Amino acid sequence: MLVLRMMRVALRLVGPYGWAPWRSPLLRWRMETYGIFDERGHLLHADEITPARFRRFVVTHYRILWAFLRWAARLSVSDRSHRVAWS
């Protein structure tokens, strides 16, 4: 159940870019602010993120990304349980 919620969070993050997540402006911006570097060690701009660099980032940081998705999935469940129905 948690994995399904994690997948739902991931799909919300990529938005309409589900088959090409490296094109998602939100993910590219987050990768840029996280600090993604090229082969020479220079900080990349969001426009310079290619599919290969995106895959390398995901493979390199999969533990952090997995932990974030798990946290966001649990947060979305706790948000729903605290909502008050206004009548």
For residue 76, what pLDDT band results from cuts at 50, 70 and 90?
confident
Let me know: does 84 contact 24? Beta carbons within 8 Å.
Answer: no
Phi, psi angle pair for 43, to nearest 5°: -65, 130
3-state per-residue secondary structure call for the chain: CHHHHHHHHHHHHHHHHCCCHHHCHHHHHHHHHHCCECCCCCECCHHHCCHHHHHHHHHHCHHHHHHHHHHHHHHHHHHHHCCCCCC
Per-residue pLDDT tens digits for 3-32? 999 999 999 989 899 899 999 999 999 999
**Residue at token pair 């998705």:** 69
In a domain, 70, yes or no: yes
The confidence score (pLDDT) of residue 71 equals 94
The confidence score (pLDDT) of residue 87 equals 44
Domain count, the chain: 1
In a domain, 53, yes or no: yes
In a domain, 61, yes or no: yes
